[in-house]
Structures are given as structure tokens and as C-alpha cells.
Structure 1
Amino acid sequence: MTPLLSAHGLTKTYGPRTACAGVDIDVTEGEVLAIVGESGSGKSTLLSMLAGELAPDSGEVRYRDREGRVRPLAEIGPAELRALARTDWGFVRQDAAQGLRMAVSAGGNVGERLMGLGARHYGTIRSQALDWLGRVEIAADRIDDPPTRFSGGMRQRLQIARNLVTAPRLVLMDEPTSGLDVSVQARLLDLIRRLTGELGLAVIIVTHDLAVARLLSHRIAVMRAGRVVETGLTDQVLDDPADAYTQLLVSSVLAA
């Protein structure tokens, strides 16, 4: 099957520092790919390039659109790229405040994406917003509350609803559980796993937490110093790592 999103030879440098060096990666519908590694390994830089938010110095990202055309992101104009980001793609950010309109109600945050698709009927928009708030376990009576009144876990769940309401094909996630209490993390992970399975999404998730990668992903890519040093099925890589760096990562978790 042709990948939904693929990257070939992605390279990005900042002065003397190489953030990504010749990275190849791909994801297909219904697949969750985890990108793991220590801080500074290049995970977030890679995700920004995959999202079209950061131009690589070399290499390219290709996306297979709904018509089946495989197109380099560099050849998609800014207006169309913004439209894709509101419809076909979702981006769940580590800091929910960066992915939400903090002064807009919960319902407005969800409904705004629908309006981007042309929805104008207030009752329909509110009904769909209520449905999605329920799906991410936010009570209906919180629909008119702004995210400033929500806990960190609730903000992340609202951000997920905002991204999924338009039925995207691809969702990018940048450390979505980082900074949350353990019990809140567990609840959010269960939600993400359930929704990605139900909707058949292609998901690329960046995380430093190997337990998160094991729980959510089918495949894993391990990054070190801007390079992918090992890829494979998640359980296979984590249970029998071939690369010395991956072995060190896994052993450090076991020793903790």
C-alpha cells in the first residue's frame, strides 16, 4: 500500500547543529507510528517538517491526497496547506494552549474546525460539538466554558476533539501526555488508543516515554542525534532491540 505520508532524506541543520540527518519515514492508514528518543534527538524538528510547518534543508515529504495523488508538500501552496491542516490533518500539541483558542468556549473550539469546512448552521455545529465533547469525556454542561477553566487533562481531551471533528486522515501528536499526572495520563492514553482504533487514523506520535510508545503504536522509530537508528514493529524493537542506543534506552527504563 502506498503510504499516506512519507519522508525521504529529511535534513535540517541549525548552524553547527544537525537536528535531522537523512531521515526516511512513512505511515499508512490505520497505523500508529511512534518516534522516540531523548530530548534533543530531533523528534520535534522531524514532526514540524512532516507537518509542513518547517522546510527541510534537503529531502522531501510526500502526501497521498483523497484523490490518490502523491504530492510533495513543497509543491502544495500555502493556502491549500492551511486547508489540509484544518481538514485532512490534525496536530495535537504538547502544550494544549498552543492548539486551542483559549478565550473561545469549548464548543467554539470544536465548532471552529467545522466552520472551516463551510458549516454555518448553529444548531448542527453545536450538536456535533456536543457529540465530540462526549466522545472525549467532557460533560455537556462544560460546552460554554473556555479552556482556561479546564484542567490540563481536559484541555488535551478538548484539543483531541477539536482535531478529530473534521474526520482527518492523519494526526500528528507531540508528547500529548507530557506533564500530566500519572492517573490523568492513563485516562488520556486509553482515550487516544480507543479513538485511533475506531477511526482508523494514521497517527505519528512523538514521545520520550517508551511505555506510551508500546501502548499506542504499531511501529516505532528510534532517533539519536538527528538520525533514525532503528525501526520496526514496536514490541519487537522494545523486546529485542538491535541497536546499542535502543538497548540503552530500554535498559534505562527497566532500571528505573
Structure 2
Amino acid sequence: MLFSSPDISPALRIDCIFGHTGEIGQLTTDVLPGDVVVLTGQNGAGKSTLIDTLAGELAPCAGEVRVRHRGDGVLLDPAAPAAAGTVIRIADPTFFPDLTLGEHVEILARRTGVTKDALLADSAAWEVWDLPDTLPSRLSSGQRQRAHLGLQLAVVAVTAAPVVVLDEPERHLDAAWTRVLCGELRRAGSGGAAVVVASHSPAVTEVADRVVAL
């Protein structure tokens, strides 16, 4: 697939064949700052594999992926040490079972350099922070997903991360919370991030600037 882009420096440049042990698909496109791009396709089409490749967690089978360094604008391999923090990948929620929600916020604040208050304020729309002393195991799957999305998207907003990639973030969310997700994806784009989402949700697809069918 080939898409043309206006003469604006891309936040994410994709020109690769992707797959794990073998080739699954190929994509050539630029994603500009502020773009929300949704990847669609049946299970097995390679959506999650491509998300991992864009995040630098999986090398392309051929070709390359490049992300724009926030400092000097140079395009870098997302797996390069110099690109650390340029791409934020949001996939399955992971929590330490013996730590409360509040303790998770404190750890993320220390790791990212973002204050706890900033994380809580930016993620308030997800309505889970009235349970700071609760262990993740005591939450529903929807509450865990909301806490995870809220914190990670808050990091994107507060740190002005250039690129965010998400793998089926609508999982475990009902229709009302999927609408909140859609608003947060648009907010991330409005803040200047290049947003790439693998999704099966028609609601998520509706808020995309572009849809790429794999």
C-alpha cells in the first residue's frame, strides 16, 4: 500500500515488510504529527505484529521503520537507544499483583519524570482514581483497562510523546467507555502525537483520519 503525504516532516515513516517467522504484509506510508491512523483487518492479518514493529520491539522482515527524534527531528530506528521514549506502545494492561493502583501511579511517575498529580489530572476522564488502595486483582477487566489506558495516555499528553501505537485498546470497554477512548485518541492527535491504532471497533475507525486495511 502506498499513500502520499504533504510536505510536512513525518513523525513516523514506514516502508517495510513485517512478520514474525515469515512475511505477513507490507506497508509504505508516512504518519504526520496529529494524524490518527487506524489499522483494520481480520485476526491474523498482522495488526499486532505491525504495532510491535512500529514500536521497535520486532525487526521488520525487510525495509525499515523510522521515528522522528523529538530533539533534532532526525529519523531514527525506533529500536535505537537514542529513540527511547519517542514511541509509546499501549497494549495489554500489566500490573504488579501486590501493588495498589496508587502505588502503580507513583512508580510510573518516577519512571517517566511526570508528577503523580499530573498523571492523575490528565487521566481523570477514566474515573478509576477513587480506588487508590485497591489491588488490580480486585478490579474488573474493564476497570483495569481504563486505569492502564488512562495512565499511558496521560504520559503521552504530559511528555508530548511524538508517536503512540495502540493494540486493540477497546478490549474490555463497553460502548460508553469506547466513546471516551475515541475522544482521548483524538486528543492525543490534537496534542501533536502521531497515533496508530490496531482496532476491530467501528467507533474507533470513525474517528480516524485514515484507515489502513491489512
**Which TM-score band (shorter chain)?**
0.7 to 0.9
C-alpha contact 1:33 1:205 (8 A) present in aligned 2: yes
Q: Specify every segment of 5 or more residues in structure 1 that has no aligned partner in the other structure, as ranges.
A: 120-124, 224-256
Amino acid at match of 2:87: W
C-alpha contact 1:114 1:165 (8 A) present in aligned 2: no
Greater helix share, 1 or 2? 1
C-alpha contact 2:149 2:169 (8 A) present in aligned 1: no
State the distance in 2 between where 1:111 and 1:89 align: 21
Among 154, 173, 185, the alignment partner of 2:178 is 185
Amino acid at match of 1:128: A
State the distance in 2 between where 1:213 and 1:57 align: 27
State the distance in 2 between where 1:105 and 1:165 align: 18
Q: Specify every segment of 5 or more residues in structure 2 that has no aligned partner in the other structure, as ranges.
A: 1-7
Tell me what 2:208 maps to: 217
Report how far residue 131 of structure 1 moved: 1.8
Tell me what 2:139 maps to: 150
Among 60, 66, 70, the alignment partner of 1:62 is 66
Report how far residue 179 of structure 1 moved: 4.1
In structure 2, do the counterparts of structure 1 residues 11 and 195 end up closer, same or farther at CA, with 3 Å as the change threshold?
Answer: closer
Report how far residue 29 of structure 1 moved: 1.3
1:169 aligns with 2:174: no
Q: 1:175-254 residue pairs with structure 2 within 5 A?
A: 175-190=168-183, 192-193=184-185, 195-196=187-188, 199-214=191-206, 216-223=207-214
Q: 1:84-123 residue pairs with structure 2 within 5 A?
A: 84=85, 88-93=86-91, 95-96=92-93, 98=94, 100-118=95-113
Q: TM-score normalised to the size of structure 2?
A: 0.80
Higher mean alpha-carbon deviation, 127-136 vs 3-12, is at: 127-136
State the distance in 2 between where 1:12 and 1:129 align: 35
C-alpha contact 1:36 1:210 (8 A) present in aligned 2: no
Among 7, 12, 31, the alignment partner of 1:5 is 12
State the distance in 1 between where 2:149 and 2:172 align: 17
Q: CA offsets per residue over residues 198-232 of structure 1, 9 Å max, x none?
A: 53322100012333211x21111111xxxxxxxxx
State the distance in 2 between where 1:118 and 1:153 align: 27
In structure 2, do the counterparts of structure 1 residues 62 and 34 end up closer, same or farther at CA, with 3 Å as the change threshold?
Answer: same
Tell me what 1:19 maps to: 24
Q: 1:25-44 residue pairs with structure 2 within 5 A?
A: 25-44=29-48
Report how far residue 37 of structure 1 moved: 0.7
Q: TM-score normalised to the size of structure 1?
A: 0.68
Q: Secondary structure of 2:34's partner?
A: coil
Q: Percent identity?
A: 31
Higher gyration radius (CA): 1
Tell me what 1:132 maps to: 122
C-alpha contact 1:12 1:58 (8 A) present in aligned 2: no
Aligned residues: 202
Higher mean alpha-carbon deviation, 50-59 vs 180-189, is at: 180-189
State the distance in 2 between where 1:138 and 1:161 align: 9
State the distance in 1 between where 2:126 and 2:153 align: 10
Tell me what 2:49 maps to: 45
